[in-house]
Amino acid sequence: MLSGKKILIGVSGSIAAYKSAYLVREFIRLGAEVKVVMTDAATSFIAPLTLGTLAKNPVSIDFVKDSKSGEWENHVELGLWADLFLIAPLSANSLSKMVSGNSDNLLIATYLSAKCPVWVAPAMDLDMFKHFSTGENLQKLKEKGVHVLEPREGELASGLEGKGRMEEPPEIARAVYEYFTPNSILKGKKVLITGGPTYEAIDPVRFIGNHSSGLTGVLLAEACAERGAEVVLVSGPGSHKTKHPYVTTYSITSANDMLEVVQDHWNKCDLGIFSAAVADYRPAEAADQKIKKKEDDMLIRLVKNPDILAWAGSQKKDDQYLVGFALETENEEEHARQKLERKNLDLLVLNSLNDSGAGFGHSTNKITLIRPNNNLTKFELKEKSEMAKDILNAIENDLK
C-alpha cells in the first residue's frame, strides 16, 4: 500500500475542506504517514483538531508556534519531508497565490519551498471556476508541472449545478496510490480472481468441501492490487482474507454462488485468474432440516456443478486474458494442456500433488506455467507469495 510514503495535505479555505477529513482517513487507511498544513481561512470550515487527530500529527497553520520562545514552523523542512504535497481543496485565492508566489501564509510558503511533486484539487463555485483568471492560473500551474485533479461537474454547495466540485477523496487517494505503484501494465486494469474452496450443502449443517485455504487467491489479489490493478476477489469460505483497500471481496459459499458473481463481473474485466478449488459436484438436493441418522448406510446423489472457468473462457473477448489452475496427479502436462485448450485459456498454472510441498495446506508451491503455444516454464518450490509474483510477471510479459 502506501506504507513508508509521506503525504502532506494542504487545506485552503473552501467549503470542500470538510472532505479533507475523509482524504486524511483514506491515506491513513492506505498506510501513509500524513501531515496537514492549513490556511487560516480553512480553519473556519474544519477544525484543525479533527484533521490533526485523523492524521495522528499536529496540524501546521501559523509561521510562529510560540511567540515568547520564538519557536517557529519550519516550512522548508515540511516541504522537504513530503513525498507528495497535495493541496485539497485548493481555493481560487490560494490558486492565485501559488501562481504569484504571494507567500503570506504557511501553506503557500511550504509550496514555494517544496521539492516533491505537487498535486492540487481545486474546489470553488461555478462562476469562480469559469472566471478567466482561474483558467489562466490553472494553466500556469500545469505548465510548471503541478498536477491538477480536475474538479467534477455536479451540485455545488451554493446550490448551483456545474463544474467546481472537488474530486472525491477515494478517487484522489486512488490516483495517488497508482502514482506510487511500480510501473506495471496491470496499473488501472480490472482483475477478477476466484479463490478458496466451495462448500456444497447436504443439509443446513453439513457440506461437501475441500481443504483449500484461499491463500493463493488472496496473495494473487494483493499482488495485483500492489501493481495498481482494481481487483474483485470471489472467495469461498477459506481461512485467508485480505484487508487490502483495493481488493473488493465477495464471500460466497457454493459453486453456483461463485458463478453468479463471476457472471456479473467478467465482461467488465481485463484479466481473470481462477484459482478456486471448486467442487466438481454438489448434492442433487440439499435437505431443509438436519438429516437424522437412521439406516446403516446412506446415499447422496451428486450432480455436476457449472464449470466457472470454462464459462469465462467461452465468453472471453480478444482483449481479455484468462488464467486457470490445474492440480494433477498423473500425466500432469498432458492433462494440463488439454484443460488449457478445453477452457480457452491464455495461461495455465499447473501444480502436481507428486511434488512435496505443493498444493493445499502448504505455504509453498511448485508450479509450471503452460501457454497455448506449448511454451513451458518450470519454477522451483517457493513461498506462495513469490509464486504469485512469478505468475503476474508472466502475465505482464504476455500483455506487453
For binding to ligand CTP (CB under 6 A), which residues are involved?
194, 255, 274-276, 278, 280, 305, 307-309, 324-327, 339
Give the DSSP letter of residue 291. P
3-state class (DSSP) for residue 185: coil
- The dihedral over CA atoms of 8, 11, 17, 22, expressed in degrees to the nearest 10, equals 10
What are the beta bridge partners of residue 326? 350
- The distance of closest approach from Cβ of residue 338 to ligand CTP in the complex, given in angstroms and rounded to an integer, is 9
Based on CB atoms, which residue is closest to ligand CTP, 242 or 254? 254
Q: Specify whether 137 is catalytic.
A: no
- How far apart, in whole angstroms, are the C-alpha atoms of residue 311 and residue 281? 16
Catalytic-labelled residue, pool 93, 210, 256, 344: 210
Measured from the Cβ of residue 308, the count of other Cβ atoms closer than 10 Å reads 26
- The distance of closest approach from Cβ of residue 146 to ligand CTP in the complex, given in angstroms and rounded to an integer, is 46
Contact predicate 233/221, CB 8 Å: yes
- The distance of closest approach from Cβ of residue 7 to ligand CTP in the complex, given in angstroms and rounded to an integer, is 39
C-alpha atoms less than 13 angstroms from C-alpha of 158 in its C-beta half-sphere: 14
Based on CB atoms, which residue is closest to ligand CTP, 105 or 212? 212
* Overall residue count recorded for the chain in this entry: 400
- The distance of closest approach from Cβ of residue 258 to ligand CTP in the complex, given in angstroms and rounded to an integer, is 8
- The distance of closest approach from Cβ of residue 321 to ligand CTP in the complex, given in angstroms and rounded to an integer, is 14
C-alpha cell, 64: 510562529
Q: Burial level of 299, CB count in 10 A (0-12/13-18/19+)?
A: exposed
Report the run of H or E that residue 389 belongs to, with start and end.
helix 384-399
The contacts of residue 315 (CB under 8 Å, 6+ apart) are 266, 267
Based on CB atoms, which residue is closest to ligand CTP, 77 or 341? 341
Based on CB atoms, which residue is closest to ligand CTP, 17 or 308? 308
Based on CB atoms, which residue is closest to ligand CTP, 88 or 391? 391
Q: Buried b vs exposed e over 339-369: b needs ≥16 C-beta within 10 Å?
A: bbeebbbbbbbbbbeebeebbbebebbbbbb
- The distance of closest approach from Cβ of residue 339 to ligand CTP in the complex, given in angstroms and rounded to an integer, is 5
What are the beta bridge partners of residue 311? none
Query: Backbone dihedral region of 2: left (phi > 0), alpha (psi from -120 to 50 degrees) or beta?
Result: alpha
CA 253 to each of CA 155, 197, 250, 260: distance values in angstroms, whole numbers, following the listed order: 41, 8, 10, 11
Based on CB atoms, which residue is closest to ligand CTP, 239 or 331? 331
Positions annotated as catalytic residues are 210
